[in-house]
Structure formats: C-alpha cells, structure tokens
Amino acid sequence: MTAAVPVLTLDGPSGSGKGTISRLLAARLGWHLLDSGALYRAVGYAAALAGIELTDADAVTRCAARTRIDFRDAADGDQTRVLVNGVDVSAEIRTETCGAAASAIAAIPGVRAALLAKQRGFRRPPGLVADGRDMGTVVFADAATKVFLTASAAERARRRHKQLKDKGLKVTLADLLREIEARDTRDAQRAVAPLIPAPDAVVVDTTGVTVEVVVERILALLPGH
Ligand code: C5P
C-alpha cells in the first residue's frame, strides 16, 4: 500500500543544505516532510537529560524506545516544532552539542531500529520528502528518486555558522569546521547505516550553487515534474 506513495530521499552530510532544500521541495510538491535528524537529536537530548551515558548502548536504546517524539506545525509558519515527551525542545536540539550527541547515539543499532517504524510512518499520500543520512540506503530503499547532497566542508561550516549565529548561538568558524569534520567522519565510518550515497542516488554538489537552482535541479529528477 504505502509503497505506492512516492518518496524523494535527500541524504548528505551536515550543512549540505538538506534541511532548507527538503523544506522547499516539500512545500513546492505539497508533500509531507520527514526531518529524520530531528529524531536522532531528540533521542540524544532525552538520553542526556536522563543522565544516561551516551556510550551505554542498552540504556540509550531503551530511552529511544520509550521517548515520545512529536512534530507540530508552527502556528507562525516557521519551522516545525519538535516535542520530546510533550515538551517543546526545538531550540535546544539545534545546538552543536546536541548534534554531536545525536551522532554518537545514531551509531547504536538498537536506536536506529527503534526509530525505523516511526520514520516509515511518515510515508503518507500524496508523497514524502525524507531528509537524513540513510533515507535512500535503508529507510526508504525503494524510493524512486534519491538525491545525495554534498558541499565542501568549508562551505558547510560557513552555512552552519550563519544558521547558529542567526539563532543567537555563539560558536567560532574554526571550531565548527572541526566539529563538522569529526561528525562527518563518525557518520561515514559507523558500521550500521553509514553516510554513503545509495548506488542509485544522484549526487548534487551545492558548493556555490543557490538554493533555488538546487531545488529546480532536484524537481527535474522527479517523474512527471
Ligand atoms: O541532520 P542532522 O544534523 O540534524 O542530524 C544529526 C545527526 O543525526 C547526524 O550527524 C547523524 O549522526 C544522525 N542521523 C542519522 N541518520 C539520519 C539522520 C541523522 O544517523 N537519517
């Protein structure tokens, strides 16, 4: 049944533009949006809040299974709000600390298994834009259209720097570049669902390319668009 619902997967490293581009594509297509990174961030946040060691795979897996994560449309048309056990943690989960926690717990197979059904539940008519690291390789391996977004590490650090600064968070560009490279390495080298393009993904380099051009390029890949 759900397999008939079209899915466009967008995978890639942090700062490759996935978040912005997925949101724009979902709006243009009138499709649902899955920000799977927010789920991993929410689990990392919940585990840290509960005082769980992020290296304690069993405890973090139990935490992932029992944590309620909800997405709510923001009333002001702003970004979707993320609720962990009913509490709005949208701002808290966007910090680099939470990104690093997400990346640490995302390497635990039990955590990934606990989030699998939840992610697949987003596949509803008329379609889904799925943003993450393993959308095209694992979660929606049968998706008809798969994109892997890339950009140079320097450009990705600059983008993240601007994003965080706009949110009033203080972080230096050099620290950010180091953190981004460490997170990329961990995401790419983990044994389970590593960050790699699906064999049938189209790789789109966004370095020096405007968001609008990237969106049009991806739309052109969709059958019938
Ligand atoms: O995309 P975002 O930066 O919010 O993701 C945070 C972290 O969650 C990533 O660095 C990655 O380790 C993990 N993640 C993942 N699989 C996904 C989405 C995110 O492992 N599908």
Give the tokens for residue 30: 């009138």
What's the rounded Cα separation, in Å, for the pair 80 and 179? 25
Cα(105) to centroid of ligand 1, in Å? 10
Domain boundaries, the chain: 2-219
Name the 3-class secondary structure at 145. Answer: strand
- Going by pLDDT thresholds of 50, 70 and 90, the confidence category of residue 213 is very high
pLDDT at 3: 67
Q: Over the stretch 2-54, which tens digit does the pLDDT of each residue have?
A: 668 999 999 999 889 899 999 999 999 999 999 999 999 999 999 999 999 99
Q: Over the stretch 156-177, which tens digit does the pLDDT of each residue have?
A: 999 989 988 888 888 899 999 9
Cα(150) to centroid of ligand 1, in Å? 15
Q: Is 14 in the pocket of ligand 1 (CB under 6 A)?
A: yes
Domain 2-219 has CATH 3.40.50.300: yes
Nearest CA to ligand 1 atom 3: 14
pLDDT at 2: 62
pLDDT at 222: 95
Asked if pLDDT for residue 180 goes beyond 80, the answer is yes
Please identify which residue in the block is written with the tokens 């993240």.
160
Angle CA 141–68–94, to nearest 5? 75
pLDDT at 80: 87
Q: Say what the pTM is.
A: 0.91
pLDDT at 186: 87
